[in-house]
Structure 1
């Protein structure tokens, strides 16, 4: 579908509709995510020391930007279809690329990706025991995409012509932003998954009595993959519509701004639900009776000690897995990997 068959005024109306749907999801997921971050699973408000204020601040910031983006979309449509009386009608209003609303749309996108991708880098930093060497490349990609994004904002604000995002001076920088975003998110997600699987393999090799731990960490990996794919696919679709010079890019770009807080808070929600499930089902199953052999009094004490050791080992393993999931969900200390894997 070419831009001529999908004019910009129709594209902006569709974009507003798409935003409305996604913003409803943002309201639900952010509210639940803040509940996970600020309240314990028994319904009590967490103490300040146990609240991850970085994640709380990032969640509120992303929600604020998503709300602002929604308001800007409504304002732009009102300006174009109701208040604008100049030449070209609504198409003329939407085509003014240096219009303050258009510039703010781009700024919102850049700030939202800056926060969302920054949180991914932060998670990698914490998961790898605060080893900054691990996140040097992702951090550089993150800063590069942000720098290119602000160049886009500057050019867009100073063009003062009728143009779309496919204007020749914008294309190299927008392409760079999207390429760097895809590279950074793929790398950080891969690093997180690799670390979790490495920890799982290390613990499993040392604890032959471990019950259910592999399934729990596999669940964490699946959550990261699903949430990462949600964001990555939306960026890929935006990239595709941009390269095709299709006005559908406006709607998809607006959706990306809403998808970032959704995918982020979904991780918190899924992890919290997984911990609640494990607390009610797995942990009680780790209680074991001592192993005894009737009629062999000489071996009874030894086997009782062995049974207790097995029980403690299973319980410790279950608690470690739950602790890992809890920290991904927003514990103030992050993932204390050194407590989970003695090989670290």
Structure 2
């Protein structure tokens, strides 16, 4: 579809419609995500010392940005279709790239990706036992992506001409932002999945109960599926941008709504998975009762399996959250390791 068959004014109307749909999804998922972060499954407040306020703040910030994005889009459509009476009609109004609404929508995109990608790096950092050396490359990519994104905002605010995102000065920096975003998200997701699969393999080699294998496998699937939502949006945006197609506007606007959705979906699915666990169906028979721990070492932490005395079923923490993956759900900095310390049923 050429830009002439999908004019700019039509693209902006489609963008507002698509944003409204995904914003509604965001209201539901963010509300549920905040419930997971701040209240337990019994409906009791976790307490100010148990809530991860950094993740709560990040969730609220992303939702605020998503709200501002749809508000700016609505204001822009009102300006173009109702208030503007000059030559060129709505397309002329939308083409004013340095218009404050256009600039603020770019600010929203830059800020949303800045927060969303920072959380991905943070999760990778937590999974690798807060080893900065492991996440050095993702951090560099994230900083470079953010710098280019904010420079795009600067250029757009100073052009003062009629143009689209494919304006000559903007193309190299937007291309760089999207390329770095894809590289960083792919790398961090891959590193997290590799780490979890490595622990999963170690569990299997020691014949530990299947509850651990089940949870780790489920976490990997959740990460991949939720990450793909964001990654696919960025890929589609990248392709439409390179093709100079006006459909890039609806896709970029939807991406701003998708980031908080994909983030909170991880929290929701982990919480729901824990709530419906049936421990009696997940336990496997082992020859001896064992104790499983993850040892914090400078290298790759493998499982430490040792003999222990038999324990009763009441000692098995069947309802603990998947804190070993989701530091978001627990303010304890070593929660993801502590949550994996359990006594198996003989």
Query: What TM bracket, shorter-length normalisation?
Result: 0.7 to 0.9
Partner of 2:143: 143
* Count of residue pairs brought into register by the alignment: 323
> As a proportion of its length, which structure holds more helix?
1
- Residue in structure 2 matched with residue 20 of structure 1 by the alignment: 20
CA distance in 1, matches of 2:187, 2:208: 34
| Paired residues for 1:292-331 under 5 Å | 309=309, 322-325=322-325, 327-331=326-330
Quote the residue 1:304 is aligned against. none
**Unmatched 5+ stretches in structure 1:** 292-306
Over the residues paired in the alignment, what is the CA RMSD in angstroms?
2.7
Verify the 8 A CA contact 1:217 1:321 in the aligned structure 2. no
- 1:205 is displaced (CA, Å) by 2.5
| Cα separation, partners in 2 of 1:117 and 1:78, compared to 1, 3 Å | same
**1:301 matched residue in structure 2:** none
Give the Cα separation in 2 of the matches to 1:224 and 1:177: 23
Partner of 2:158: 158
If the length of structure 2 is used for normalisation, what is the TM-score? 0.87
Report the 3-state secondary structure (helix = DSSP H, G, I; strand = E; otherwise coil) of the residue aligned with 2:329: coil
Q: Which residue of 1 aligns with 2:88?
A: 88
In the TM superposition, what are the counterparts of 1:214-253 in structure 2 within 5 Å?
A: 214-253=213-252
1:257 aligns with 2:256: yes
Decide whether the 8 Å contact of 2:166 with 2:244 is kept in 1: yes
Runs of 4+ in structure 1 off by over 3 angstroms are 283-288, 307-323, 334-341
Partner of 1:213: 212
Structure 1 residues 141 and 179, CA gap change in structure 2 (3 angstroms) = same
1:303 matched residue in structure 2: none
- Once the two structures are TM-superposed, the CA of residue 334 in structure 1 deviates from its matched residue by 4.7
2:49 counterpart SS class: helix
TM-score, length basis structure 1: 0.87
The equivalent of 1:63 in structure 2 is 63
Residue 202 of structure 1 deviates from its aligned partner by 2.0
Q: 1:108 to 1:323 in 2, by over 3 A?
A: closer
Structure having greater relative contact order (Cα 8 Å, sep ≥ 6): 1
Unpaired stretches in structure 2, ≥5 consecutive residues? 289-306, 342-346
Deviation, structure 1 residue 324: 2.2
Matches of 1:32 and 1:337, distance apart in 2: 22
What is the CA–CA distance in structure 2 between the aligned matches of 1:283 and 1:254, rounded to whole Å?
46
